[in-house]
Amino acid sequence: MASKLLLLALAGAAGTVTRFGISAAVNHFFPSPFPPGTLIVNTAGCFLAGFFWMLFEMRWMHAAESRTILFVGFMGAFTTFSAVMMENSELLRSAAWMPAALHLSLHNLLGIVAVFTGAALGRLV
């Protein structure tokens, strides 16, 4: 169990550093009022999540621990947006249209509300 936690922590650290590096590089080379680095990281994270999801399902079926380390460790630190999109993809895959729409809408709506609420509270403190 301790070795699995260590691997998760290392994968998380790698995801964090990768996210920071890519985002900083994109923002440096393509300065814009819109944060392109975050868009690139989140889009790449979703692509990678889908890519590795299929590899694990079709080719690496017995690699449950590796799947956890990649998705929870690396991808979880690289972008949680990919986790939201993976969950939503599962809902869509099972034709759960209304839960998928609600899931996506709530993540976006509550996320924006939480950012503004946290910012407002931060200004008061």
Question: Residues 96-125: pLDDT tens digits?
Answer: 999 999 988 988 888 888 888 888 888 776
Is the model's pLDDT at 17 over the cut of 90? yes
67 located within any domain? yes
Domain assignment of residue 34, yes or no:
yes
Output the pTM of the full model: 0.71
Longest dimension (CA), the chain: 53
Does some domain include residue 45?
yes
Task: Look at the chain and report how many structural domains it folds into.
Answer: 1
pLDDT digits (tens, 9 = 90+) for 29-69: 998 776 788 888 888 888 888 888 888 888 787 778 888 88
Locate 79 and state its tokens. Answer: 């972008």
Whether 125 maps to a domain, the answer reads: no
Domain extent for 30: 2-79
Gap between the Cα atoms of 100 and 114, Å rounded: 21
Instruction: Name the burial class of residue 70, with classes exposed (0-12), middle (13-18) and buried (19+) by CB atoms within 10 angstroms of its CB.
Output: buried
**Where residue 86 falls among pLDDT bands split at 50, 70, 90?**
confident
d(CA 124, CA 62): 51
Half-sphere exposure (Cβ direction) of 116: Cα atoms closer than 13 Å? 5
